[in-house]
Structure 1
Amino acid sequence: MRITCSPGFPGSMIGSIDLQPSKYYSKPSINSKITDYVDPELITIPYVEDSEFGLHFDNMKVMNGTYKDEMHVSYDVEFTIDVDKKGYITQFEHTFQLERYLDLVRTQSYKVIKTNWRGQTFHVMTYSYLEEVIHPKNVLFKCNNAEDVFVVAELMPHRVGGIVVQPNNLYLHFRALISARDDLYPLDYMCEPDFDLSLD
């Protein structure tokens, strides 16, 4: 899975996560600076089987509309999150501190978890620390009415430099993707670590 990090606004980085392999997808970047900061032996996206993990999602509110329907209604985003014609998410971008990105890689917080939920098998792709992914105040958005892919999100007031500047506007923080569509989100791609760090 391609997860990039490059300079953005002053004091922060812009991260981009390609959730699906693009037809233009290339092999992991050989120019990435990630091994300058993280031990190469830690650079991996673990695959874990935990049949009980899906129970965490039973504690979360499922929003009425799809992810796309709810945008600008129940939440806003820093950047547009790309979806295909059927509403499945293909890519998202967000800002964060460089140290958070490095620590997420170092702690192997980006991972794929096979679990059971709602009576079927799902794969959960995590993009945050575990405690952020399973927080009971998170909400779930279905990608479409097939209800075979969901977004796990935390909705928080907009902050700049740690200070709340828009208390009445909730911004979506993408914590995980729950997918029963291995055809759209293939495991060999999701588990391939492609952490592309650029500091230029």
Structure 2
Amino acid sequence: MNPDQMTIPYITDTNIASYLDKMTFAKNTFKSDYEKGYDTEYGNDMDKRGYIIGIELSLYHERFIDLVKNQAFKVIRTEWRNTEFHMITFYYADDVFKPENIIYKLTDEEDAFVIVELIEPEKLGFHYTDEKDQKRPIALFKALISSIDDIYPLEYMMKPEFILRKDI
């Protein structure tokens, strides 16, 4: 895929708030529920305050190309909870705004959030070898929502660093 084709559209959509309000809002922060209420496919890259500084997605290259070419990755400016937010989506809107997805605040300041889908580990091919291990759902990132430009600058959201790895 030509890198020039990897564009992320920037749009304004004030209707997003109504979708967010219908979703489940976690009581705890994302960091405090980690390894208690959910696991992730990969380790969480978080700073000491709980802000995510790196998101890893498992996408086969065909799926990634499909999402990028069809502009599923979007940066959306919206107003929610009387605050202006920017949201970057990692999937199509139908996958992001499912009412059963969970919104986690990253810190108690409630200035950044993630939308995750909780999936049973077996559906993703994970199998626990030790019966004593507690099975927790896997959190799959669907979107990042932020009102803070110093940690999540708009320029970065529009041109994130995609690192593609091909398994041998």
**TM-score (normalised: structure 2):** 0.86
Deviations 1:36-62, CA, capped at 9 Å, x for gaps: xxxx66420110001111211101111
- CA pair 134-156 structure 1, distance change in 2 beyond 3 A: same
Aligned residues: 162
Q: Distance in 1 between matches of 2:7 and 2:35?
A: 35
Is 1:107 matched up with 2:70? yes
Q: Distance in 1 between matches of 2:35 and 2:6?
A: 36
Q: Which runs of 5+ in 2 are unaligned?
A: 129-134
Is 1:98 matched up with 2:65? no
- CA pair 194-163 structure 1, distance change in 2 beyond 3 A: closer
Q: Distance in 2 between matches of 1:48 and 1:85?
A: 31
Is 1:170 matched up with 2:137? yes
Is 1:187 matched up with 2:150? no
Q: Residue 137 of structure 2: SS of its match in structure 1?
A: strand
Q: Residue 41 of structure 2: SS of its match in structure 1?
A: coil
- CA pair 183-154 structure 1, distance change in 2 beyond 3 A: same
Q: Residue 138 of structure 2: SS of its match in structure 1?
A: strand
Matched-pair identity in %: 38
- Greater fraction of residues in helix: 2
Is 1:86 matched up with 2:53? no
Q: Which runs of 5+ in 1 are unaligned?
A: 1-33
- Partner residue of 1:153? 116
Q: Residue 101 of structure 1: SS of its match in structure 2?
A: helix
Structural mapping, 1:55-66, within 5 Å? 55-66=18-29
Deviations 1:12-69, CA, capped at 9 Å, x for gaps: xxxxxxxxxxxxxxxxxxxxxx32xxxx664201100011112111011111111000
* 1:181 to partner: Cα distance: 0.6
* 1:189 to partner: Cα distance: 1.7
RMSD of aligned Cα (Å) = 2.2
Contact 1:82 1:90 in 2 (8 A): yes
Contact 1:78 1:171 in 2 (8 A): yes
Is 1:123 matched up with 2:86? yes
Q: Distance in 2 between matches of 1:135 and 1:78?
A: 20
Q: Distance in 2 between matches of 1:193 and 1:89?
A: 14
Structural mapping, 1:3-152, within 5 Å? 34-35=1-2, 42-152=5-115
Q: Which amino acid aligns with 2:89?
A: T
Q: Which moved more, 1:117-126 or 1:96-105?
A: 96-105
**TM-score (normalised: structure 1):** 0.73
Q: Distance in 2 between matches of 1:195 and 1:83?
A: 18
